[in-house]
Amino acid sequence: IGLSAVVCPSAALGMRQLDEFTAPVHNSIANVPEMLRAGVTVGLGVDNVYDFYQPFVDADMWTEMRMLQEACRYYDFDQLVEIATTNGRKILT
């Protein structure tokens, strides 16, 4: 469909939830499996490196892949590697 998105699971895990709003999604974690099924090119990024409020984020892509895997319960390793590598290139070019 020509859409792309970069997801940052470690950053999303630390986001404050807006409890006063009712929405079809209930947290800040991107629904990566649904995005992939819809044809969205999903890339993996890191955020909050050297952030005062998130001091332990170290920009380790393996850690970020694991966060994505566990937060989304998405266990297709080959697709996770593609999200972290090839799709990032596609999004940037």
pTM across the whole model: 0.76
Residue 22 lies in a domain: no
Residue 85 lies in a domain: yes
d(CA 81, CA 79): 5
Average pLDDT of the chain is 82
The answer to whether 33 and 70 are in contact (CB under 8 A) is: no
Number of separate domains in the chain: 1
Q: Is the pLDDT of residue 16 over 80?
A: no
d(CA 45, CA 47): 7
Q: Give 46's pLDDT tier (boundaries 50, 70, 90).
A: confident
Helix (H, G, I), strand (E, B) or coil at 44: strand
Tokens of 41: 């090119």
Domain carrying residue 42: 4-15+27-92
The model's pLDDT over 48-93, given as tens digits with 9 standing for 90+, comes to 676 666 667 677 888 889 988 988 888 999 999 999 999 989 998 8
Residue 21 lies in a domain: no
Residue 8 lies in a domain: yes
Length reported for the chain: 93
